[in-house]
């Protein structure tokens, strides 16, 4: 086994930070549409089932988590917003697509960082590869896909 650790090329991580912000905005817009649709659907379902369908409203907060983990853990390695701006998530050492478990861990760490102290995402401004804390802790990196 070699002691050599692959480091993503500088050009693969350059200008990713701005793209990440734009991808996040796109994903928020997509998620807002999905959540509005689900909210309306569950409202109608609740009326039809005399209130029983409204129990499903407790699942709505999980939708953004499932959205991110599903897309990052898929063969695309990126959410739709990431795909639109030309970035993807990969393992730091090999740039292989993350496993579904790694995608769930990455998403959980992101949600935790947003829940505890959102400005912690500014760590990306000070790391060599523009990695956020949840990238570092999960062993993943966001790179240009082209």
CA dihedral 108, 104, 9, 13 (to 10 degrees): -50
Quote the pLDDT of residue 145: 85
Distance CA 40, CA 138 (A): 35
Most confident of the following: 5-9, 12-16, 53-57, 120-124? 53-57
Is the model's pLDDT at 128 over the cut of 70?
yes
Quote the pLDDT of residue 2: 41
Residue 91's beta-bridge partner residues? 140
DSSP 140: E
Quote the pLDDT of residue 9: 59
Which residue ranges make up each domain of the chain?
A: 13-144
Confidence of residue 11 (pLDDT cuts 50, 70, 90): low
The contacts of residue 145 (CB under 8 Å, 6+ apart) are: 78, 82, 83, 86, 87, 88
Mutual angle of helices 100-117 and 63-73, in 10-degree steps: 140
Token pair belonging to 123: 């760590």
The contacts of residue 144 (CB under 8 Å, 6+ apart) are: 11, 12, 13, 14, 15, 16, 19, 86, 87
């Amino acid at each position: 086994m070699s002691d050599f650790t692959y480091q993503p090329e500088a050009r693969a991580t350059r200008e990713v930070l701005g793209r990440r912000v734009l991808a996040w905005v796109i994903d928020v817009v997509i998620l807002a549409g999905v959540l509005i649709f689900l909210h309306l659907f569950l409202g109608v379902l609740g009326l039809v089932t005399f209130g029983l369908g409204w129990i499903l409203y407790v699942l709505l907060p999980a939708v953004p988590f499932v959205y991110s983990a599903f897309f990052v853990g898929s063969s695309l390695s990126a959410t739709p917003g990431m795909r639109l701006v030309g970035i993807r998530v990969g393992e730091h050492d090999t740039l292989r697509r993350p496993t579904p478990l790694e995608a769930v861990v990455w998403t959980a760490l992101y949600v935790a960082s947003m829940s505890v102290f959102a400005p912690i995402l500014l760590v990306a401004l000070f790391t060599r590869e523009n990695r956020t804390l949840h990238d570092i802790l999960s062993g993943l990196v966001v790179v240009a896909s082209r």
